[in-house]
Amino acid sequence: MSNIVLIGMMGSGKSTLSHLLSKKTGFKVIDCDSEIEKNEGMSIASIFDTYGESHFRALEKSYLESLSCDSCIVSTGGGMILQEENVMALMGIGHIFYLSGSVDTLVARLMTQTDDRPLLDESSLRSQIESLLSEREMLYLSSADDVVEIDDKSPSELVSEIYTILSEIDYNFSG
């Protein structure tokens, strides 16, 4: 299946880039978190509050198991790669890009966006990002087909970079 999969930390721009890539390729966007919210009729923050993180991780896994799409941009939640089965599933459905950002970049972007992110709070944002990134960086790197550095780049530069990489590997944009 020829999907384009975006992985990376909260604040790495997966959602924004997925919509720009959709415009460029004509592929449909699948935002895993939004789909889970629709299925459950609750926000991600409420799912964490009411049922806890492990329940959310189970929902992420079963959503991915049920996912059947071709020629889509799949935007994942930052923790999607924490379960090995999820990584295997993502590897099976398309080309995986890791949007890699420094702690400074992620903190700057997330500063005003902690309310709907249950794993973060504004007062200790930097240490939370440092600790999540150090736990996850190896997983992101080992899951990805390509790593795209996001620091100091605009969304349109990043879209061009991703599109160039896909063109260079003769990616089949017609599905």
The residues binding ligand S3P (CB under 6 A) are 10, 14, 33, 44, 77-79, 117-119
Least spacing, CB of residue 79 vs ligand S3P, in Å: 3
C-alpha dist (Å) from residue 97 to 32, 40, 128, 144, 166 = 15, 27, 23, 5, 10
For the chain, state the CA radius of gyration: 15
Closest to ligand S3P by CB, 33 vs 94, is 33
Nearer Cβ to ligand S3P (28/173): 28
Sole residue written with tokens 């939640």: 77
Length of the chain as a residue count: 175
- Minimum CB–partner distance for residue 27 and ligand S3P (Å): 18
Interatomic CA distance for residues 133 and 48, integer angstroms? 20
Angle subtended by helix axes 84-93 and 125-143, to nearest 10? 50
CA distance 3 to 99: 16
At its nearest, how many Å lie between ligand S3P and the CB of residue 59? 10
Residue 151 contacts residue 105 (beta carbons within 8 Å): yes
CB-wise, 33 or 158, nearer to ligand S3P? Answer: 33
Task: Tell me the closest approach of the beta carbon of residue 8 to ligand S3P, in angstroms.
Answer: 7
Closer to ligand S3P at the Cβ: 51 or 171?
51
Nearest to 74 by CA among 93, 55, 101: 93
CB 167 to ligand S3P: min, Å: 27
Closer residue to ligand S3P (CB): 33 or 97: 33
